Amino acid sequence: MVTATYSKEEILEILSAIADPEIPVVSIQEIGMLRDVVVSEDGYEVLLTPTYTGCPAMGIIEADIKAMLLEKGITPVKVTLTYSPAWSTDWMSDEAKEKMRKYGIAPPAHSSCGSIFKTEQEVVCPHCSCQDTEMISRFGATACKALYKCNSCKEPFEYFKCH
């Protein structure tokens, strides 16, 4: 039986402080991974969706959520992974995209991939805002990013892939 009661909104508010471990300038809420909280007699269930199926940050995020809620005496907490609807970069707020750009990562360029054969176009350099950039590799240091370089300022940078 749960003694202290918190509303769904209160829990979401608390959890909005948790940063994405890979891109610490944005929160798990801003990036769209934090989907919902279900409050019931059995406790609190936090619904998370992974950005990529193999996202290695999920374990850390789950531990962060439990630790943060435990600290406030909120128990028991269950974290459930949900795959539907599939995570999309469309859920990312403009504010989050701007934070990402300032951090040096080019945010997703266009709205979610309509055609499955569609390729990325016009990735803008996060350093000098030049549009003359080229892809070095489709895959980067994390599953969600690709490697690019700017032909104007010559800086290499990461691009958060449209998904």
CB of 85 to other proteins, least distance (A): 7
Segment interacting with other proteins (CB under 8 A) among 9-17, 36-44, 68-76, 139-147: 139-147
Q: Which residue in the set 6, 44, 87, 148 belongs to the binding site for other proteins (CB under 8 A)? A: 87
- In angstroms, the CA 160 to CA 148 distance is 10
| Six-digit token string for 18 | 């948790």
Instruction: Build a one-symbol-per-residue string for 106-135: x at contacts with other proteins by CB under 8 A, - elsewhere.
Output: -------x--xx-x----------------
Q: Which residue in the set 54, 73, 114, 122 belongs to the binding site for other proteins (CB under 8 A)? A: 54
Burial class for 125, CB neighbours closer than 10 Å (0-12, 13-18, 19+): buried
Which residue type, as a one-letter code, is found at position 23?
I
Which residue type, as a one-letter code, is found at position 92?
M
Strands (E), 4-139: 34-40, 43-48, 77-81, 105-106, 133-137
Nearer to other proteins, 16 or 151 (CB): 151
Question: Which residues contact other proteins by CB under 8 A?
Answer: 50, 52-56, 82-87, 113, 116-117, 119, 136-141, 143, 147, 161, 163
